[in-house]
Amino acid sequence: MNTPKRGLTLIELLIAVVVIGVLAVVSAVNYTHTAAQARDREAASYLQALRQAALAYHETWNAYPTLLAQVPAVMVPRPADQTSRWIYGFTLSDTTQWTTPAAQSKTNTRRLEIAQDGTITIIP
């Protein structure tokens, strides 16, 4: 009497490998997207803090800062390594308008700007 052998055929094994591969790709893409959103939220948080510091500077000096260095570091939390994720700047359009850009320093660059009214714009 022949008893059937138990085990996986080559086709069943290949199907399992393909399914695992598809799941891995979908997970990697989802992780990348979620990480990018987290970095955008982090940059927006820093920009909001910089906006508040610029408004406080204006209250003290009756003018907006023209350089990022004029804003006290204690008022603006800066990342420990500014070159790893974002590069921050400060652009004064004129004496009453300003924007604060934050540009990604990695290959997939994005630029975030916060206007004087607090509106954050993401420029891909």
What are 51-107's pLDDT values in tens digits?
888 888 888 888 777 776 777 666 666 556 655 555 555 555 555 555 565 555 444
pLDDT of residue 51: 80
User: Whole-model pTM?
Assistant: 0.61
Distance CA 101, CA 98 (A): 10
Distance CA 117, CA 99 (A): 10
pLDDT of residue 93: 54
pLDDT digits (tens, 9 = 90+) for 23-32: 999 999 999 8
Contact 40, 112 (CB under 8 A): yes
Contact 48, 118 (CB under 8 A): yes
| Region of 58 on the Ramachandran plot (φ > 0 left; ψ -120 to 50 alpha; else beta) | alpha
Mean pLDDT, residues 8-37: 91
Distance CA 8, CA 24 (A): 22
